[in-house]
Amino acid sequence: MLNRGNKFKIELKAPFSLDKTLKSEQCPADLWFFDENQNYWVSYIPIEGCWVKVMLRQNQNIIDGEYLPKECEIKEKLLEKLHYIFQFEDNHDNVLSAFSQKDDFLAKVVRYCRGLRIMRDLNKEYRILEAIITQNTSIRMIKIMQRLLFLNFGDMIQIGDDKIFTYPKIEKIAEENVIDLKKKCKLGYRAQYVKDIAQQILLGNLSSQKLEKMPTEEAKKYLMSFRGIGKKVSDLILMYGFGKGDVFPLDIWIKKAIKREYFESQEVSEKEIYKWAREYFKEHASLFNLMIFLYERRGEDRYYNYCVWR
DNA sequence: ATCCAGGCTACCC
DNA sequence: GGGTAGCATGGA
């Protein structure tokens, strides 16, 4: 590695793949990018007021890590956060082999997704705003919009040689006028939603503390009471912001796959798919949702080199 | 050019 | 309750 920062190692005790996880295009993976020259994954994490550059590389069952700046003595805290983000210790093997027996499609999906984890975001408020901009657009555009949010509403800081922008500040978004927000960040009609929700978060009406205490169904109703948050967006927020394992975000990829594999390509309503998924996957719905999403998009372009931070 | 993308709201019946 | 036009934006 750079050999300039502080080094650490994480020993993996369960099957885990950094590549599968970060190339999966799950929402929190957008905060990581692959540095092709250095051959490691990079992200930036705030720890006790200090922004840290984190670099990771996997070698068999070892994650080699390094962070900057060197004078930050936060190794233990950083490891704690990385465990929270990646869930290294989650061993899904029993669940995966059980579901592989259920049908051939799942067997293929499970094989393809070996080592995949559902990530969690440290910044719940950002996760809420980011989920809103995912509606009716492409993964490519989602990354562009995120980068523009960082650029326009984050603070510029320097870590080593990197000049980056921190997470977009909710207060700044809340007071920006909608036309400018729309133009600056290419948010389209989502700009009004983003601004409104930012205000609701600041007012304490949309509270992540409240959300954390709620069971899934209640949390979903709560989220959907805000304009701009519907079924799908609330599922994404709960899955990636609040670690809910029993949600099932329905986008076109999932709908297509479920219809094809389980309803003989017949027309099925969203309601029926939700009901079916709850019964079929039970408390593991989120995990299989992400695996099917990844499997279905296996031939699509990936943008894991794209950096939202600068 | 028309259709589509990790959908939602408002309004129709 | 279910069904759908309109919505901003850029890529195919």
The CATH number covering residue A57 comes to: 3.30.310.20
pLDDT in tens, A154-175: 999 999 999 999 999 999 999 9
Distance A185 CA to C10 C1' (A): 13
Q: Which residue is nearest to nucleotide B6 (CA to C1')?
A: A251
Q: How many domains does chain A have?
A: 2
The strand ranges marked E within A123-233 are 156-159, 162-165
Q: Which two tokens stand for residue A115?
A: 């080592």
Half-sphere exposure for A290 (CA within 13 Å, toward CB): 28
A82 touches strand B (CB under 7 A): no
Closest-approach nucleotide to residue A270, Cα vs C1': C2
Domain containing A201 — which CATH number? 1.10.340.30
- Distance from first CA to last CA of chain A, Å, rounded? 21
Q: Let me know if residue A156 belongs to a domain.
A: yes
Q: Let me know if residue A261 belongs to a domain.
A: no
Closest-approach nucleotide to residue A191, Cα vs C1': C8
Mean pLDDT of A55-74: 95
How far apart are the C-alpha atoms of A56 and A41, rounded to whole Å?
5
Q: Which domain holds residue A190?
A: 124-241
Mean pLDDT over the full length of chain A: 96
Could you give the percent of chain A with pLDDT greater than 90? 94
Same domain, A72 and A12: yes
End residue of a domain, out of A241, A261, A281: A241
Same domain, A133 and A228: yes
Same domain, A135 and A85: no
Q: Residue A54: which H helix or E strand, with range?
A: strand A50-59
pLDDT in tens, A83-101: 999 999 999 999 999 999 9
Name every residue whose Cβ is closer than 8 Å to that of residue A94 and which is 6 or more positions away in sequence.
none
End residue of a domain, out of A200, A219, A241: A241
For residue A214, what pLDDT is reported? 97
Q: Let me know if residue A86 belongs to a domain.
A: yes
Cβ within 7 A of any strand C atom: A 136-138, 140-141, 182-183, 186-189, 192, 269, 271
Q: Let me know if residue A299 belongs to a domain.
A: no
A99: how many CB neighbours lie within 10 A of its CB?
Answer: 20
Residue A1 pLDDT class (50, 70, 90 cuts): low
Residue A2 pLDDT class (50, 70, 90 cuts): low
Closest-approach nucleotide to residue A233, Cα vs C1': B7
Same domain, A234 and A147: yes
For residue A138, what pLDDT is reported? 95
Q: Let me know if residue A44 belongs to a domain.
A: yes
A67 touches strand B (CB under 7 A): no
Chain C nucleotides reached by a protein CB under 7 Å: 2-3, 7-11
Distance A82 CA to B8 C1' (A): 34
End residue of a domain, out of A69, A92, A115: A92
Residue A3 to residues A38, A66, A67, A234: CA-CA distances in angstroms? 11, 8, 10, 42
Distance A95 CA to C5 C1' (A): 43
Distance A185 CA to C8 C1' (A): 11
Closest-approach nucleotide to residue A138, Cα vs C1': B5
pLDDT in tens, A227-248: 999 999 999 999 999 999 999 9
Q: Let me know if residue A308 belongs to a domain.
A: no
A6 touches strand B (CB under 7 A): no
> C-alpha angle A132/A306/A151, rounded to 5°?
60
Could you give the percent of chain A with pLDDT greater than 70? 99
Q: Please tell me the pTM assigned to this model.
A: 0.97
pLDDT in tens, A115-166: 999 999 999 999 999 999 999 999 999 999 999 999 999 999 999 999 999 9
Closest-approach nucleotide to residue A290, Cα vs C1': B6
Q: Let me know if residue A104 belongs to a domain.
A: no
Q: Let me know if residue A216 belongs to a domain.
A: yes
